[in-house]
Amino acid sequence: MIYLDHAATTPVRPEVLEAMHPYFLERFGNASSLHASGLEARKAIEGARELIARVIGAAPQEVVFTSGGTESDNMAVRGVLHNNCDQHDHVITSMIEHPAVLETCQAIEKLGHEVTYVPVDGEGRVNPSDVERAIKDNTRLISIMHANNEIGSIQPIAEIGAIAAAHNVYMHTDAVQSVGKIPVNVNDLNVNMLSLSAHKIYGPKGIGCLYVRKGTPLRPLVFGGGHERGLRSGTENVPGIVGLSKATQCAMADFSDNTRIQSLRDILIDTVLHEIADTRLNGGREHRLPNNANFSFSYIEGESLVLRLNAKGVAASTGSACSSKKLEPSHVLLAIGLDPVDAHGSLRLTLGRGTTHADIEYVCEILPSIVDELRQMSPLYACKEDVYRQPE
């Protein structure tokens, strides 16, 4: 199997599994216990917190462990809003956020808060001046993702963060896709909060963290025994935390592999655009994650493409894994201006550390004929042929 769906999830690295292993077995203690076993778990958690903090330029106390990217996003958006019924806050986000942010924003709208969804340009980028113009007296939070999970577009977060700071508005960014692929530093990015998830960087599923800058008035979503300085109760996922930390360290050690991945990705993009007519690359070539390629092939459906690729041993995705079960076209592709029909014909290929030149060659070899076959069966393609025949 050639796995080209690294934006959906990644395999756990052997080193990560190895680091986690003892915390399932001989070091299984509860970090709140006062005996040796508990102290060992506590030490592991605090060591992990320190290492992760160092990577993103934070202080250890500013890292809160959560169950992953989704919980971190929920916590960031909901946690800074006023909780009294008569105070209605305003939140600014973008039209292409991950559902973890978008659906949370829709939920807080139902509670009476107000949300502005700023548009993106044809390459999937937010214009910082649109964000600035949207700021109002009651704007409490700006939440814009660092890099998009579907089309890989990278947002000008440092600039937007500076605007937020100048207007005394809290700034959150979802860096789940960007960490390990482009530099992620909370000070350079001017953010108050930042979400991370382990399973997108060769760590385990179900663990992540939220960076919370000192002084950010965050309220918890999960109440209980007061873990994580009261911000996120629940017995800590010690193996997961150790795994997240190890995965983060490994991502930094391997950072230069992104150059290799990017050059493979560029071969893929160039070949596909050259070999297959009526194809577009979604998202720009600049300001794009090094491992992301997202195409729209007119006249066909992404789902059939993904199934055909799967039959030939290639794991790919249409739009994003989250939206592929719904039949609506991707909100991201619509936001960059695709019509719903073209949005349906989209294919996301996301490369990773295991991707080889031979893998990309194979995909480049089989994709044109798969697209061609599907087009031959497509009523839309038949209509197109008719249009061309008309003048004769």
Ligand X SMILES: *Cc1c(COP(=O)(O)O)cnc(C)c1O
Interface residues toward ligand X, by CB under 6 A: 68-70, 73, 98, 100, 145, 149, 174, 176-177, 197, 199-200, 208
The one-letter code for the residue type at 113 is H
CB of 36 to ligand X, least distance (A): 32
Of the two residues 73 and 359, which places its CB atom closer to ligand X in the complex? 73
CB of 312 to ligand X, least distance (A): 26
CB of 350 to ligand X, least distance (A): 10
CA–CA separation, 226 and 246 (whole Å) = 25
Of the two residues 300 and 351, which places its CB atom closer to ligand X in the complex? 351
The backbone torsions φ and ψ at residue 222, rounded to the nearest 5 degrees and listed phi first, read -115, 120
Of the two residues 156 and 208, which places its CB atom closer to ligand X in the complex? 208
Of the two residues 120 and 367, which places its CB atom closer to ligand X in the complex? 120
Of the two residues 200 and 308, which places its CB atom closer to ligand X in the complex? 200
Q: Which of 85, 209, 250, 322 is catalytic?
A: 322
If you count DSSP H runs as helices and E runs as strands, how many of each does the chain have, helices first?
A: 13, 12
> Shortest CA distance to 265 belongs to which of 356, 372, 176?
356
How many CA atoms, within 13 angstroms, populate the side-chain half-sphere of residue 128?
15
> Shortest CA distance to 328 belongs to which of 315, 341, 310, 347?
341
The answer to whether 322 is a known catalytic residue is yes
Of the two residues 142 and 176, which places its CB atom closer to ligand X in the complex? 176
Cα–Cα distance list, 23 to 31, 239, 245 (Å): 11, 5, 13
> Shortest CA distance to 293 belongs to which of 273, 309, 274?
273
CB atoms within 10 A of CB 376: 12
> Shortest CA distance to 236 belongs to which of 77, 40, 26, 17?
40
| Dihedral over Cα of 367, 370, 374, 376: its sign | positive
CB of 159 to ligand X, least distance (A): 20
CB of 75 to ligand X, least distance (A): 12
Query: Pairing state of beta strands 139-143 and 170-174?
Result: parallel
Q: What angle do CA 56, 176, 184 make, to 5 degrees?
A: 30
CB of 171 to ligand X, least distance (A): 16
Active site residues: 322
